Structure 1
Amino acid sequence: MYTSDYPGGPQNADSGRLLYRYDTITLFAEAPDEEGWLWYMVGPDQWVEQRVISKPVKTARPEGVEGRWVSIDLYEQALIAYDGDTPVFATLISSGLPGNDTNEGLFRVWADLPQDRMSGFAGAPNAYDLSGVPWVMYFDDSISLHGTYWHNNFGYRRSRGCVNMSISDARWVFEWAQEGYRQQGIQRVSHEQPGIYVLVWGSGEYRTTGAATK
């Protein structure tokens, strides 16, 4: 896509900046268009609508949480990995679609597997049966963080409730958590000996009319 010359303007294929999917960009300013949708300035006379951008938003470490933990922002569709109060990694995710929303709250990983088989909605039109799902970290009953090989649409809601990541990003988070467990002398996480905390929250609210939000 090309940038627009001003908030709310059309894409400018002649003098606008060409942006590709998953490009990393710097946001210099923000302003609403006439309908109230928020736009970001990414360069001189270069504007992009907020709805196509994911901006990792830092959040405070929850009370009682120490060491390594992850924050999942359902609004920005982004994950940030923290060591204490310090962000060490950020990436895009795909959380649950409306009707299969990923629950907000503070959870802990209770099981992790290098790969697992996942299935659900047997007999229904939306049934699925996926083998070899990689880098799985269960945190809310059967809901997990995991790698995803069946789509490449990160940054948008897409799943049946799990938190989808690219395979390489899921592996990074999985191995980073494992390294922390080894430092603590934890051999295997379980309900009795849970792993890292997972904070699921939203930094904004989805809307269908202009209000400077997605």
Structure 2
Amino acid sequence: MKHAQVWPQETLFLWFFTVIVAFLTGVGGTLAWYTASYEDRALPGVTVGGQSVAGMNKEQIAALVSERFSQTQLTVTVNDEVLSASLPETGVHVDATATAEAALTGSGSFLATTRSLFFYTPVPTTSTLNESEFKAFATKVDALAGTPPVQGGIALSDDASSLVAQPASAGKGVDTESLSAALKETSTELKDENIHLAPQDVTPDITTEDAESAAKKANELIAPTVEVVTPKETVVATAADKAQWIETTLENGTLEASISSSKVKEWVEGVAGSVNRDPINGVNNVDESGTHIALARPPKPGMKVTNADAVSEEILSALENSSPASVQLAYDEVPASYDSRTVPSGPERFAYQAGSDEKWVDVNLTDSTLTAYVGQEVVRGPIFINHGGPGNETIIGIHRVYLKVPTQDLGCTPEWSYCERGVPWISYWSGNFALHGAPWVKEFGLGSNESSHGCVNIPVSEAKWLYEWTEVGTTVVTHY
């Protein structure tokens, strides 16, 4: 009888150990390869919004999340009234890239890869809720419940010169916490959601008393006088101007009125804009060879305000301290140059052929200048003047002074649309057309937006000289 061969115990152990090592080596190698193959991709079992993203890279997952986010809707029913909105319309913002990165957590890890073979890993979306956008959406939902509450507030009075309170009233709405919770669940799962909300009584956050208190404070803020001194005039902010400067904010549930720095700055910049201007070049008359003959129009430097921001800040500080403000605008002059105008060198260049000793006055409506001559010699000027505007144009032609009055009221009767009292140094040259001083004018010449009713408006000191120099019968020539 033949007996089976019996292996020594040491040999059996070695054989068993070798088999185990070989098996583990094979399994380990397989898992290592498997792990490496998912290094930049989502592991098996990973889901986002209930959808598998296994094997997807970051860009693919982010694209999927963005698409699902834009398509997911929340439907709200209140009193059988229905409102549906996509998540972007509710104030929810999803960070698709951050969500994709979260889905790749563990990719390339041996342990995480091994675990993924046996367990699912749901990944919630990374989302935030924009409060102001959510509030706008909640307001639409509140409207389904009935008449919403009216918040107290402040508004301009009928004449826009002050602030008045707008009363509050109670109304209907929904539980915004339930609405917010539904949005959170919908955005986390990226799955359409339907919710039913019951209407409830809602009291306004801002009461009528709050509004009255804010209106009172607003009117106190704008009560002080505000003026800005410019090179031409002092500009006083009207009550209506200052009322526009008020803004309101909700601070810890309280309606607060304050001065808007941006609106004050806007007003100051408007004043500065009336001062700022480009330079206007003077004009020299030259002959065909370029030789200077005479000054036709003096140069007018430009102006550029340099302290508008500082003026705005000073006004704001004064009002916040219940103090009046009187602030000077500073400016730099912008130099003007000269242009040349080619004219005949002989007497034909003049608008009037005067005798050698004849006094006459040239009023150039193109250049807005006045020049006094004796014959062909300049004795005064050219000086800047203003003349008639559209609908009140100064007539052109050759005229003569027929009446001189040292001072007189102009207009001031029912047939005239204006009234200027005590106008000085008047020399009439055709009907109601005259040369006269204009103390109310802020700026003369080109670049001014001030025109007359047809007369030639002249700086008072120049008008006095002209009045004393001219005589009844002196020629006045008006032309373009």
Structure 2 matches for 1:26-65, cutoff 5 A? Answer: 27=338, 59-60=349-350, 62-63=352-353
- In the alignment, is residue 82 of structure 1 matched against residue 347 of structure 2? no
TM-score by length of 1: 0.59
1:144 to 434, 438, 442: 434
- In the alignment, is residue 116 of structure 1 matched against residue 416 of structure 2? no
Q: Deviations over 1:169-190 (max 9, x none)?
A: 1001111225xxxxxxxxxx3x
Query: Alignment partner of 1:69: what SS?
Result: strand
Distance (Å, rounded) in 2 between the aligned partners of 1:29 and 1:85: 20
**Cα displacement (A) at 1:105:** 0.5
Structure 2 matches for 1:120-135, cutoff 5 A? Answer: 122=414, 127-135=417-425
Distance (Å, rounded) in 1 between the aligned partners of 2:359 and 2:423: 24
Distance (Å, rounded) in 2 between the aligned partners of 1:138 and 1:2: 34
4+ aligned runs moved over 3 Å, structure 1: 1-4, 11-14, 63-66
Q: Deviations over 1:89-119 (max 9, x none)?
A: 1111000001100011000000011111111
**Does structure 1 retain, via aligned residues, the 8 Å contact 2:351–2:477?**
no
Distance (Å, rounded) in 1 between the aligned partners of 2:340 and 2:354: 35
- In the alignment, is residue 158 of structure 1 matched against residue 448 of structure 2? no
Q: Aligned residue for 2:398?
A: 106
Distance (Å, rounded) in 1 between the aligned partners of 2:377 and 2:340: 24
**Cα displacement (A) at 1:68:** 0.8
Distance (Å, rounded) in 1 between the aligned partners of 2:457 and 2:431: 16
Identity of aligned residues (%): 29
- In the alignment, is residue 201 of structure 1 matched against residue 479 of structure 2? yes
**Does structure 2 retain, via aligned residues, the 8 Å contact 1:122–1:128?**
no
Query: Alignment partner of 1:19: what SS?
Result: strand
- In the alignment, is residue 169 of structure 1 matched against residue 480 of structure 2? no
Query: Alignment partner of 2:333: what SS?
Result: coil
Q: Aligned residue for 2:384?
A: 92
Distance (Å, rounded) in 1 between the aligned partners of 2:277 and 2:391: 33
Change (3 A) 1:101 1:121: farther
Query: Alignment partner of 1:173: what SS?
Result: helix
- In the alignment, is residue 67 of structure 1 matched against residue 345 of structure 2? no
Unaligned 5+ runs, structure 1: 5-10, 31-57, 179-188, 190-194, 203-214
Change (3 A) 1:128 1:176: same
Structure number having the greater helix percentage:
2
Change (3 A) 1:104 1:29: closer
Query: Alignment partner of 2:394: what SS?
Result: coil
Q: Aligned residue for 2:187?
A: none
Distance (Å, rounded) in 2 between the aligned partners of 1:61 and 1:12: 36
Distance (Å, rounded) in 1 between the aligned partners of 2:429 and 2:278: 39
- In the alignment, is residue 19 of structure 1 matched against residue 329 of structure 2? no
Distance (Å, rounded) in 2 between the aligned partners of 1:13 and 1:122: 42
Change (3 A) 1:69 1:12: closer
Distance (Å, rounded) in 2 between the aligned partners of 1:94 and 1:3: 19
Q: Deviations over 1:59-106 (max 9, x none)?
A: 515235551111001111000100110011111100000110001100
TM-score by length of 2: 0.28
The one-letter code of the counterpart of 2:350 is A
**Cα displacement (A) at 1:166:** 0.8
Query: Alignment partner of 1:122: what SS?
Result: coil
Distance (Å, rounded) in 2 between the aligned partners of 1:94 and 1:164: 5
Distance (Å, rounded) in 2 between the aligned partners of 1:3 and 1:133: 31
**Does structure 1 retain, via aligned residues, the 8 Å contact 2:398–2:478?**
yes
Q: Aligned residue for 2:246?
A: none
Query: Alignment partner of 1:153: what SS?
Result: coil
Distance (Å, rounded) in 1 between the aligned partners of 2:439 and 2:304: 34
**Cα displacement (A) at 1:3:** 6.8
Distance (Å, rounded) in 1 between the aligned partners of 2:385 and 2:366: 11
Once superposed, what is the RMSD of the aligned Cα atoms? Answer: 3.2
Q: Deviations over 1:22-70 (max 9, x none)?
A: x8x651669xxxxxxxxxxxxxxxxxxxxxxxxxxx9515235551111
